[in-house]
Chains A and B, each alone.
Chain A
């Protein structure tokens, strides 16, 4: 009799990862690390999609995760290019000093 895991535990793990992602998005001051915490949140949401796809025996959750991965790859490429051009004009990666549009 193999020990089984309730699906709810996977969902709680995803909630933990998402909350850590939100927290580090707020705490971190380096723009690259902030971008990495966005990727962490995307991964946490992907885990809930896969867990529910497993639960309901539907393939659509896994296909949604596939599209999320594609969009995340495109977003990472464009976002990192924006970070490079920000660094080129302002010579800093600290978000406290990139406040031109701040009220």
Chain B
């Protein structure tokens, strides 16, 4: 069950990411990013993080991607023209990305047995659920950082309004 879920939604996430890379119209890239985020939500759920799965759907694919699609439509963004890109990207960027991938995969796969197996639902069968666990830590031990993030959001809203406002002559 978990293997089937992992294969289906992992393949869907990788296919969506590759489609983001290959599509030339921004709206197609945005919609394939929604596919990636929805399949990641299923993977979070299979790892026992139900709250994060719901937050991923609501915040990422619900709010952030709608904002992206709004901006794409507002600016009437057309197909991008392919240019050669910068030389630094070819010399340092792509070998660097490939090296990161190879290093991470090598480390993770060689430590496969130490990392163990993932059970569907995880440690949720202990009688207390995920949301209760998260909120207990968030509202007691981490109350100050939680309040600070609300100020961060407020500042971000104000900044977005100021930046996107039309300048009056």
**Chain B hits for A9, CB < 8 A:** 6, 10
**Chain B hits for A67, CB < 8 A:** 145, 149
Interchain pairs with CB closer than 8 A, number: 244
Shortest distance between the CB of A81 and any CB in chain B (Å): 4
- Whether B80 and A94, one on each chain, are in contact in the complex, defined by CB atoms closer than 8 angstroms, is yes
Looking at chain B's contact residues, the main secondary structure is helix
**Chain B hits for A47, CB < 8 A:** 40, 43-44
Q: How far is it, in angstroms, between the C-alpha of A8 and the C-alpha of B157 when the chains are bound?
A: 38
- Is there a chain A Cβ closer than 8 Å to B168's Cβ? no
The digit string for A31-75, where 1 denotes a CB below 8 A from any CB of B, is 011011101100100110011011101011011011101111111
Q: Give the residues from 1 to 45 in chain A that come closer than 8 angstroms, CB to CB, to chain B.
A: 2-13, 15-24, 26-30, 32-33, 35-37, 39-40, 43
- Is there a chain A Cβ closer than 8 Å to B74's Cβ? yes
The digit string for B26-44, where 1 denotes a CB below 8 A from any CB of A, is 1001100100110010011
- Nearest B residue to A22 via CB reads B97
- Nearest A residue to B156 via CB reads A74
Known: A30-B26, A50-B47, A66-B138. A78 touches B120 (CB 8 A): no
- Whether A20 and B18, one on each chain, are in contact in the complex, defined by CB atoms closer than 8 angstroms, is yes
- Nearest B residue to A3 via CB reads B3
| B89: contacting residue among A26, A57, A78, A85, CB under 8 A | A26
- Whether B75 and A69, one on each chain, are in contact in the complex, defined by CB atoms closer than 8 angstroms, is no
Q: How far is it, in angstroms, between the C-alpha of A52 and the C-alpha of B72 when the chains are bound?
A: 35
Shortest distance between the CB of A98 and any CB in chain B (Å): 13
Q: How far is it, in angstroms, between the C-alpha of A72 and the C-alpha of B80 when the chains are bound?
A: 25
Q: Which of B2, B40, B59 has the most CB of A within 10 A?
A: B40
Q: Give the residues from 1 to 27 in chain B that come closer than 8 angstroms, CB to CB, to chain A.
A: 1-4, 6, 10, 13-14, 17-18, 20-21, 26
Shortest distance between the CB of B30 and any CB in chain A (Å): 6
| A55: contacting residue among B36, B77, B115, CB under 8 A | B115
Q: How far is it, in angstroms, between the C-alpha of A81 and the C-alpha of B120 when the chains are bound?
A: 40
Residue ranges of A at the interface with B (Cβ–Cβ < 8 Å): 2-13, 15-24, 26-30, 32-33, 35-37, 39-40, 43, 46-47, 50-51, 53-55, 57, 59-60, 62-63, 65-67, 69-78, 80-85, 87-88, 93-94, 96
